[in-house]
Structure 1
């Protein structure tokens, strides 16, 4: 009897990497991928940067044409899964088609959180989650408008910098009193704020949006607790909601804060259903509660873990969380996760636009932030991976060769025979 194969619900980064990993690990059964959009899986990080600003739109497809030709992956574009029948192992599509599965992988990602706004404002309000979203904003930027970006997170700031480089007048409205305070040490946040202001962005911090009024001219007036402003376009970047409704409707366990609950192998509460990417909350060793990581790296790593687990193959080693963002001409990379009780050491000077902070607890590095110093952060990544305490006295010194220092710390931590 022929196996019904693997059904992947979702057609984004994580879905594509999982399908590719299944084939690379020797799986020869059918793979069917269901995608809401009309495109093949594509990279989302460029949507807020190169897609908005580059003279020619960059290539975005996750998988090459050669992979599609030889991997025998069936992609059902412009389709949506509306029901998951766990006892029957079936996925029902909006068009009525029913797909049987041996294993099901949910990789539905997330949806941009939206505001309740007057209908008349719809044409000038933007959410950047899809390629079509980004193309629409790009077209609007051609007029060099006055825009406001609601949300000063990584995405909001990337969009603000892209709009600024396109000649737009940009205001960022952020509820927090500092930029990216949940991800950066205070010195790094202060550096970013100063750079954004110097680049020409108006920042309204500790500000919240109260009302949106559509004017007779077609423009908008925003009322905030920091005052009013008129603008042509509004970009909303206030976070992502995990797309877990399919799983919830089927009775799969959902984490308290949202997201399909998965274990270390990306298995859900049903043994035949797995999930990966932005739609998940994962139990990780050392964490008191499941965590959601919305990142390119996590989408890829979970996809490979899920593929291996579905096949009963050895699981890849868990990776230290890593994230990057391009803010104008500056690259910021983050390794590990922040915590309230970390002690930070700094290498370099923020005024030089090349600097790195390491947050550690009792000498064990848990959080690293590098501004235009990604190679330095990569050099000390082995220390993060070992999770062992080290001495940080020589780390800030310019004369210290980082790769040699890492080897020295490894030697000191290794047991002698």
Structure 2
């Protein structure tokens, strides 16, 4: 009897990487991928940057045509999985079709968090999650409108920089008192805010939004606790919600904070179902509770882990979380996870637009933030993997070669074992 193979629910970055990894591990069974969108899996990071402003839209495909052909993946675009039956091991689609599986991988990603007063159906309101969303926003930016961006997170600030480069007048509204205070040390946050203001953005911090109205003129009015604001377009970037409804309805375990709960192998509470990417929540070293990581790296790492675990192949080693964002002409990279009790030491000067921070607990590096210093962060990455104390005084000296310093710290740690 022919095996029903692997059914992958979702057709984004993580889904494509998992399917490709299954083939790389030698899996020869049927792989069926279900995607709501009409596009093949594509990279999402450029949606807030190059897709909005580049002269020509960049190529976004996760897999090349050659890889698709070689991997022999059956892609059912425009299909919506509405039910997962764990006992019968099948997925039911909205059109009534039923797909059996030997193993199922849920890679449904996330959905943009929405505001009731700014619904996605409003032609002057934008949420940026899909390629079609980005194309619609790009068209709106062509006329250099006045834009309000609700949310000062990484995505909102990327869009702000893109809109400024397109000639739009930009106002960013953020409820917190500082930008990205949960992810960056205060100095880095202040540097980011100053750069945006210098580029022409108006930044309103600590602002509470009470309502959004459509005006007869076609413009939008935002009602806040510091006064009203009228703009041409409203962009909402207030976070991502894990798309875990299919798993929840099937009875799979869901983390308290949302997201399909998976173990270190990306297996769910059902032995035949795995999950990866933005829809998951996973317990990680040093974290009190399972957490969600919405990043390009995590989508790829979990996809490769899930594929290997499905086949009983050797698992890739655990990776320290890594995230990057391009803010205008500046690149910011983040390694590890922040925590309220970390202390930070700095190398370089924010005024010179090149700086590296290490957030540590008891001299153990746990959180690294690099501004235009990605190579420096890569040089010291092994120290984050080891989770051992290091001598941080020398790190701050510009005269010290970071790669040599990191190797010395590793050698010193090995000598004490």
TM-score range, shorter chain: over 0.9
Once the two structures are TM-superposed, the CA of residue 256 in structure 1 deviates from its matched residue by 0.7
Q: Does 1:130 align with 2:125?
A: no
Alignment partner, residue 92 of structure 1: 92
Contact 1:151 1:237 in 2 (8 A): yes
Once the two structures are TM-superposed, the CA of residue 416 in structure 1 deviates from its matched residue by 6.4
- Once superposed, which parts of structure 1, at least 4 consecutive aligned residues long, lie more than 4 Å away? 118-121
Once the two structures are TM-superposed, the CA of residue 221 in structure 1 deviates from its matched residue by 1.0
Alignment partner, residue 377 of structure 1: 377
Contact 2:120 2:126 in 1 (8 A): no
Give the Cα separation in 2 of the matches to 1:45 and 1:323. Answer: 11
Superimposed CA distance per residue, residues 192-233 of structure 1 (whole angstroms, 9 cap, x where no aligned partner): 111111111000100121111221111011111121111000
Alignment partner, residue 114 of structure 1: 114
Q: 1:118 to 1:72 in 2, by over 3 A?
A: closer
Superimposed CA distance per residue, residues 300-335 of structure 1 (whole angstroms, 9 cap, x where no aligned partner): 000000001100111110100000000000000000
Contact 2:120 2:127 in 1 (8 A): no
State the secondary structure of the residue aligned to 1:395.
helix
Alignment partner, residue 78 of structure 2: 78
Alignment partner, residue 401 of structure 1: 401
Alignment partner, residue 261 of structure 2: 261
Q: 1:120 to 1:5 in 2, by over 3 A?
A: closer
Give the Cα separation in 1 of the matches to 2:121 and 2:274. Answer: 39
Alignment partner, residue 168 of structure 1: 168
Once the two structures are TM-superposed, the CA of residue 6 in structure 1 deviates from its matched residue by 0.2
Once the two structures are TM-superposed, the CA of residue 121 in structure 1 deviates from its matched residue by 7.5
Give the Cα separation in 2 of the matches to 1:226 and 1:156. Answer: 20
Give the Cα separation in 2 of the matches to 1:255 and 1:118. Answer: 28
Give the Cα separation in 1 of the matches to 2:182 and 2:59. Answer: 32
Give the Cα separation in 2 of the matches to 1:365 and 1:75. Answer: 43
Once the two structures are TM-superposed, the CA of residue 119 in structure 1 deviates from its matched residue by 6.8
Report the aligned-residue RMSD.
Answer: 1.2
Q: 1:379 to 1:403 in 2, by over 3 A?
A: same
Give the Cα separation in 2 of the matches to 1:118 and 1:53. Answer: 24
Give the Cα separation in 2 of the matches to 1:267 and 1:275. Answer: 6
Once the two structures are TM-superposed, the CA of residue 117 in structure 1 deviates from its matched residue by 2.3
Q: Does 1:214 align with 2:199?
A: no
Which residues in structure 2 correspond to 1:239-318 (within 5 Å)? 239-318=239-318
Between 45-54 and 111-120, report the one with greater CA deviation: 111-120
Superimposed CA distance per residue, residues 112-159 of structure 1 (whole angstroms, 9 cap, x where no aligned partner): 011112779800000000000000000000010000000000000000
Alignment partner, residue 391 of structure 1: 391
Q: 1:289 to 1:20 in 2, by over 3 A?
A: same
Q: Does 1:365 align with 2:365?
A: yes
Give the Cα separation in 2 of the matches to 1:202 and 1:285. Answer: 39
- Normalised to the residue count of structure 1, the TM-score between the two structures is 0.98
Structure 2: tracts of 5 or more residues without a match: none
Alignment partner, residue 38 of structure 1: 38
Contact 2:18 2:303 in 1 (8 A): yes
State the secondary structure of the residue aligned to 1:28.
coil
State the secondary structure of the residue aligned to 1:348.
strand
Give the Cα separation in 2 of the matches to 1:58 and 1:286. Answer: 38
Give the Cα separation in 2 of the matches to 1:239 and 1:71. Answer: 34
Alignment partner, residue 154 of structure 1: 154
Contact 2:157 2:327 in 1 (8 A): yes
Q: Does 1:17 align with 2:42?
A: no
